Amino acid sequence: MSFVEYGDTIKDGDTAIVFLGHESMFPVKVQHGGVTQTKYGVIRHSTDLIGKKYGSKVTCSKGGWVFILHPTPELWTVNLPHRTQILYSTDISVITMMLELKPGSIVCESGTGSGSLSHALIRTVAPTGHLYTVEFHQQRAEKAKEEFREHGVEHLVTVTNQDVCKNGFGVSDIADAVFLDIPSPWEAIGHAKSALKAEGGRICSFSPCIEQVQRTCLAMEENGFTEINTLEILLRVYNVRTISLQIPDLGKAAEDNSSPGFDSSNPSTQGSPGTNLQQGTVQFKSGVPLREMVGHTGYLTFATKSLL
């Protein structure tokens, strides 16, 4: 296994995802002799995991079972240990496409944070591209390095522990794209410009507040960036439900026992004649939006470093 290559079977040292059910999962480091507790009982790595196929159902000690999934950047994003606020896959998708990332791209990123975006970037630019990520918090930078090593992607990423606003990305004239998720991105636009290739490239800055966006846009314009475009992406998730709605009793049933306008093939709507107390129902499938949804993560500002 690695985060940039699928493997069929679970091996010692892999990071696997234990899937318990609806949005309930966690990552586990597979180790000979290791054990993992779940609410369905114990999983013994040597016998239950190692050598098994990814996607297998694993029965735990109490008789319940879980699925073991191959890690992907998307599964990692919803399971990683948070050291900071992170970017989720909805924003990451748009960032990746709008920065025109693909195998071979050279990307600069700051800050590394919890590495949610980093894993997705590495996945996309592998096997020939590279990620230069800058994190000014020493502990976080160390932790990120360790994770990249564990996930088999260290050869695709360079972590630098410095202040991007003061010292830049540590590279120049090399990047196809730059991504900024820092409190004052406008202070790093000049560094971003020099990190990008002379022939041009793309930049994206993520900020939660509109005031940050305004300052960033100004800095981009001053630095000669073009195609400056700010957008926001919102995810709406739907639960699939079977809904049944009662047909109201309008007192008509006595005279007219067939209810026109409704699907009479539905058994529940075929009220027995004469029983106006027995209410019919209509059933249908619906995609019901979650009661609460994420209303705002951040504004994404994109721009192009142009030739002139």
Residues 34-53 that bind another protein (CB under 8 A): 53
- 73 belongs to the binding site for another protein (CB under 8 A): yes
What is the C-alpha separation between 183 and 93, in angstroms, rounded?
22
75 is in an annotated binding site: no
Positions in 142-181 near another protein (CB under 8 A): none
User: Which pairing describes strands 57-59 and 41-44: parallel, antiparallel, or unpaired?
Assistant: unpaired
Name the one range near another protein by CB under 8 A: 30-38, 132-140, 148-156, 239-247.
Answer: 239-247
Residue 254 CB, nearest distance to another protein (Å)? Answer: 33
Q: Closest CB to another protein among 55 and 183?
A: 55
Near another protein by CB under 8 A: residue from 69, 80, 247, 282: 69
Please, how many CA atoms are within 13 Å of residue 257, restricted to the half-sphere of its CB? Answer: 10
Q: Which residues contact 260 (CB under 8 A, 6 or more apart)?
A: none
- 231 belongs to the binding site for another protein (CB under 8 A): yes
What is the C-alpha separation between 51 and 65, in angstroms, rounded?
17
The strand pairing partners of 191, in sequence order, are none
What is the C-alpha separation between 299 and 167, in angstroms, rounded?
25
Residue 299 CB, nearest distance to another protein (Å)? Answer: 7
Q: Which residues contact 300 (CB under 8 A, 6 or more apart)?
A: 91, 94, 95, 98, 204, 205, 206, 230, 231, 232, 233
Near another protein by CB under 8 A: residue from 12, 27, 31, 74: 74
Number of residues forming the site for another protein (CB under 8 A): 72
300 is in an annotated binding site: no
Residue 197 CB, nearest distance to another protein (Å)? Answer: 8
- 183 belongs to the binding site for another protein (CB under 8 A): no
Q: Closest CB to another protein among 195 and 213?
A: 213
Residue 162 CB, nearest distance to another protein (Å)? Answer: 28
CA distances from 247 to 185, 205, 286, 288 (A): 57, 52, 18, 20
194 is in an annotated binding site: no
**Four-residue CA torsion sign, 210, 214, 215, 220:** positive
- 283 belongs to the binding site for another protein (CB under 8 A): no
The strand pairing partners of 42, in sequence order, are 37
Estimate the crossing angle of helix 89-98 against helix 116-125, to 10 degrees: 40
Positions in 118-147 near another protein (CB under 8 A): 120, 123-124, 126-128
Q: Which residues contact 227 (CB under 8 A, 6 or more apart)?
A: 302, 303, 304, 306
Q: Closest CB to another protein among 29 and 166?
A: 29
Name the one range near another protein by CB under 8 A: 29-37, 79-87, 212-220, 267-275.
Answer: 212-220
Q: Closest CB to another protein among 40 and 136?
A: 40
- 308 belongs to the binding site for another protein (CB under 8 A): yes
What is the C-alpha separation between 96 and 122, in angstroms, rounded?
11
Residue 216 CB, nearest distance to another protein (Å)? Answer: 9
184 is in an annotated binding site: no
Name the residue among 34, 30, 43, 10 with its Cα closest to residue 150: 30
Annotated binding site for S-adenosyl-L-methionine: 114-117, 135, 181
Annotated binding site: 114-117, 135, 181
